[in-house]
Amino acid sequence: METPNLDIGIIMSLLLVIARTRRVRGNLLIIKQDCFAFLAMTKSHIGIWGDCRTCILHLLSCIFKTMADYVERFLNYLSVEKGLSSNTLEAYKRDLRKFEDYIETCGKGITGFTRSDLHSFLTHLRDAGNQTATLARSISALRGLCKFMLLEGIISEDPVENLSTPKGWKRIPKTIGTEEVSTLLQKPEGERFSLRDRAILEIMYSSGLRASEVVNMKIGDINFEAGFITLMGKGSKERVVPANEKALNTVRRYIVELRPALLKKKTSTYLFLAKGGRPMTRQRLWQLIKKYSKNLSAEISPHTLRHCFASHLLEGGADLRALQKMLGHADISTTQIYTKVTPERLKKIHKTYHPRG
C-alpha cells in the first residue's frame, strides 16, 4: 500500500506538538533531537526535506525564544531593575507560562499575539474558575512583558495597551478577635520547639509581619533596646516597625535558651531556625500556624495574624497613615480595606449604642 505524501503544514503541527509536550523549557538541544528524530521517520514519505528542515530551524528558534529567552530576560529585568521579590517573580512566571501554552495552541508565539488573543485567554481563565485577582495579575505580567519587549525592539506595537484591569470586590480580610489571638499565642507549650513557635507568633502579631519577612529575619534586624525591627519587605523596600516588649522578651528567651541548641556547632545569621540549624521555610511556618489554630473559630494562615494586627490597631484608634507605614503598603487604598466593618461588628455597635438594641 502506497503511503500518501504528508503536507508540510501537518508536519509542522506535529513538530509543534512534540516541542510543547516535551515541556523542556530552554533546552533547545533536546527539542531539536525530538523534532529531527520524528522527521527522520517521515523522510521517506515526503519530498520536501530541505524545506521542512529550514522551517524546523525557524520554528525551533521561535520556540527557544518563547520558552527561555524573552520571559527569562524579562524576569531578570524585574529582579535586578525593579527589585521584585522571588515570590512575585514565580507568580509572574507561572502566569506567563499559562499564556504561552494557550497561544501555542492557537499556533502563535509570544511575539505574535493580538488583543483578541488576550481577550480569549482571559475568558479561558475566567471559565476555568480563576478569580478576578488572578486575571488582574496575569494582565499585569503580560503588560510588563510587552513593555519590556517594546523597549528591546522585539515588538513594534503593544497589544496590552489601554487594556483595563478587571476590578473585583474587595473582600474583608479574615481575622479573629483579641481573646482568640491571646489563646493562640499561649498554645505553644511543652514541646521542643514551643519557645521558638511562641516567639514567632508573638512577633508576627506584635508587628504585622509577612511570612517571608519572618523566615528571612536576621538577629541583627532587631533593636531590643529601641524596640524596633528593620525589615526588607516587598520590592526590596526597607521599613522599620515597632515591636511590643512582651514579644521582644519572648524572642530574647528563644535566642538564649533554644537557638544555640538548634545551631549546635553551626553558625547562622537567621533568627528563626528549624532542625539542624537550617533557616525556617514558609511552608514550615504555614504548618505550625495551622497546628496551633486548631479549635479556634476559624483556621488561620500566617497572613491572618497580619490582618489581626491591622484590624485591632484600627479598632483601638490607630491612624490609617501610620498603619500604612507599619504594613509597608505603597498605596493607602490597600490599607483602607481594614476600615471595612464586618456584619458581626455592626451588630455589636448597634446593640451597644442603639436605644432599642
Active site residue 329: yes
Q: What is the pLDDT of residues 24-54, one digit of tens each?
A: 443 444 455 555 555 555 555 444 445 555 5
Catalytic residue from among 65, 210, 259, 307: 210
All 3 cell numbers of residue 101?
501554552
Active site residue 210: yes
All 3 cell numbers of residue 356?
432599642
Give 42: exposed, middle or buried? Use CB within 10 Å, 0-12, 13-18, 19+. middle
The CATH number of the structural domain formed by 178-301 is 1.10.443.10
User: CB under 8 Å to 196, separation ≥6 — which residues?
Assistant: 254, 258, 259, 262, 272, 273
What topology does CATH give the domain 8-151? DNA polymerase; domain 1 (1.10.150)
Active site residue 338: yes
Catalytic residue from among 22, 234, 239, 282: 234
Measure the CA–CA gap between 48 and 27, rounded to whole angstroms.
27
Residues of the chain with pLDDT > 70: what percent?
73
- Predicted pLDDT at 55: 55
Give the chain's length. 357
Catalytic residue from among 65, 196, 259, 329: 329
Contact 136, 91 (CB under 8 A): no
Q: Rounded to whole angstroms, what are the CA distances from 217 to 207, 222, 236, 320?
A: 13, 9, 13, 26
Give 201: exposed, middle or buried? Use CB within 10 Å, 0-12, 13-18, 19+. buried
Q: What is the pLDDT of residues 219-236, one digit of tens each?
A: 999 999 999 999 987 767
- For the chain, the average pLDDT equals 79
- Predicted pLDDT at 126: 85
Catalytic residue from among 70, 92, 292, 338: 338
- Crossing angle between the packed helical segments 302-315 and 320-327, to the nearest 10 degrees: 160
All 3 cell numbers of residue 317?
484608634
Measure the CA–CA gap between 309 and 327, rounded to whole angstroms.
9
Active site residue 350: no
In the chain, where are the structural domains located? 8-151, 178-301
| Cα 8 from chain centroid (whole Å) | 42
Asked if the model's pLDDT at residue 6 lies above 50, the reply is no
pLDDT range class, residue 274, cuts 50, 70, 90: very high
Catalytic residue from among 65, 137, 306, 307: 306
